[in-house]
Structure 1
Amino acid sequence: MPSSVVHAAIALSLAVGLLGRFYDRRALAVVLAVVLLPELDTAIGWIMAGAHRTVLHTMMISIIAAPVLYWETTRAESRIRNRWGARGVRIAWVGLFVHTFAHIAIDWSHLAGINVLWPFTDRFYTLDGEMYLSTTEGFVQTFVEISRDPETGSGVIDAGAGGTRAETHVSNPAQPSADPEPGPVDRRFPIAVQGWQLYFVLTTAFALVSKKLQSSADSV
């Protein structure tokens, strides 16, 4: 699964392009804190079964936060705009964007996925499949599959549904396994577990250094 390092790399690479004239170390620190915040539900897993990929990995946070943030930043009495101006508004929107697309959406496509609409529904979903154009099959996508139940004749939609919170455990450094194991516990803190992840981390490092050099050159 993508590590916190990979999530951070993707978020920072997006921040380079999205922060615009408000790009600086303090803005990057806010973006970094926001994108890593969902990992706190690993600790909640000690007191709540299946908390990881549930409590802070639900899409409901973004679904609710987006209209609230829009309302807050467009009204005349906006606290964010009145205190931090356009800079605060930009950082808030970038923070919401990286939370959604640099962390939650990516975890949606790995391992057991995420508890997408928790707490309104308790069901893990995995965004898994492929999409392509074929000279013999035409357009093909398997992310959402529609079939017919042979017994009832009713339509069946498969969107990668998995188990409930109580049935699903996603391994993490806080809880490598659902049940305690005898002997030393192997807690692994991954950095990059696939080639594309290492590639993204290195590419982001290059982008950050390049942005720094460009800013230094522009100020001369």
Structure 2
Amino acid sequence: MPSTIVHAGFALLLAAGLLKGAFDRRALAVLLVIVVIPEADTIAGLWLDGAHRALLHNLTIPIVGGLLLYWDTSYRERSWLRDRWGWWGVRVAWVGLFVHVFAHVLLDYAHLEGINAFYPIVDRFVRLEGELALSTTEGIVQTFVDVDLDVGVASEDGTDGIAADVGVTGTTADTHVDNPVEPSTAVEDDADGPVERLFPVAESGWQLYLVLSGLFVLVARRFQDRRERDDR
């Protein structure tokens, strides 16, 4: 799975582009905490089967959080967030929500067994897997969503056979995503020898590239901010 360091590297890239006027150490600290929090569901996996990539790796939480944030900052006569933290707090809150979704949840959506997208409302892991291409003979070709329409062919329940594959991989009852707290070898009854707990940093070239890019942008942004202050 993408390591926490990879998630943080991507978060730094997003922060550099979105935190205009609020890019400071305090904001970065808040965003890094937000991007790390979802990994806490690995600990919950010790008591709840399939908790990792489900309990805190879903879209239900950011959807509810986004609605509450929009209600507080747009509809209330006095916004609690704006009164307490000002415009800085509102901007960091929205960027934090964006970072949580794109730098963590959806990044895991495209890796290994994916995420339990709408847990606990719907217990179903889904994974983003496929390709999108423009073919000179077949036109636009995509395999991310595979729809099979067997019109006129009766299925077992008497209806026409219609099937859509959106990358479903399983449920919390039968899906386990390897992690340092609960490695795959530890959950196998017949595992012999010491259990290897792997703490990944970068599992591929693109992940290392993302981490280094995030660090580079962070340092470059700090130098730019310092030069702008000196020019004033």
TM-score, scaled relative to structure 1: 0.96
1:186 is the counterpart of 2:196? yes
How many equivalent pairs are there?
220
Corresponding residue of 1:163: 170
Distance of 2:204 and 2:138 partners within structure 1: 31
CA offset at residue 145 of structure 1?
A: 0.8
Q: Is the 8 A contact 2:19 2:91 kept in 1?
A: yes
The C-alpha deviation readout for 1:97-127, integer Å capped at 9, x for no partner, is: 0000110011111111011111011111011
State the 1:205 CA deviation.
1.0
Name the Cα RMSD after superposition: 1.2
Using structure 2 for the length normalisation, give the TM-score: 0.92
For residues 63-111 of structure 1, the C-alpha deviation after alignment (integer angstroms, 9 at most, x for no partner) is 1111111001122221110011100000000000000011001111111
Whole-angstrom CA distance in 2 between matches of 1:18 and 1:172: 31
Aligned partner of 1:201 in structure 2 is 211
**How many angstroms does 1:182 deviate by?**
3.7
Aligned ranges 1:59-208 → 2 under 5 Å: 59-74=59-74, 75-149=76-150, 152=155, 153-177=160-184, 178-179=187-188, 181-208=191-218
Q: Which amino acid aligns with 1:22?
A: A
For the Cα contact (< 8 Å) 2:11–2:214, is it kept in 1? no
Who is 1:19 aligned against?
19
Instruction: Give the stretch that moved more between structures: 96-105 or 179-188.
Output: 179-188
2:3 counterpart residue number: 3
Which runs of 5 or more structure 1 residues have no equivalent in the other structure?
none
Instruction: Tell me which amino acid in the other structure corresponds to 1:164.
Output: T
SS at match of 1:216: helix
The Cα shift of 1:183 comes to 2.7
Query: Is 1:31–2:35 an aligned residue pair?
Result: no
Could you report, residue by residue, the CA deviation over 1:37-64 in whole angstroms, capped at 9, with x for unpaired residues?
1000000001111110010001101111
* AA matched with 1:162: T
- Quick one: percent identity of the two aligned structures? 52
CA distance in structure 2 between the partners assigned to 1:95 and 1:47 by the alignment: 29
Q: Displacement, 1:215?
A: 1.0
In structure 2, give the amino acid aligned to 1:118. Y
- Gaps (5+ residues) in structure 2? none
Q: 1:151 deviation in Å? A: 5.8
Runs of 4 or more consecutive aligned structure 1 residues displaced over 4 Å after TM superposition: none
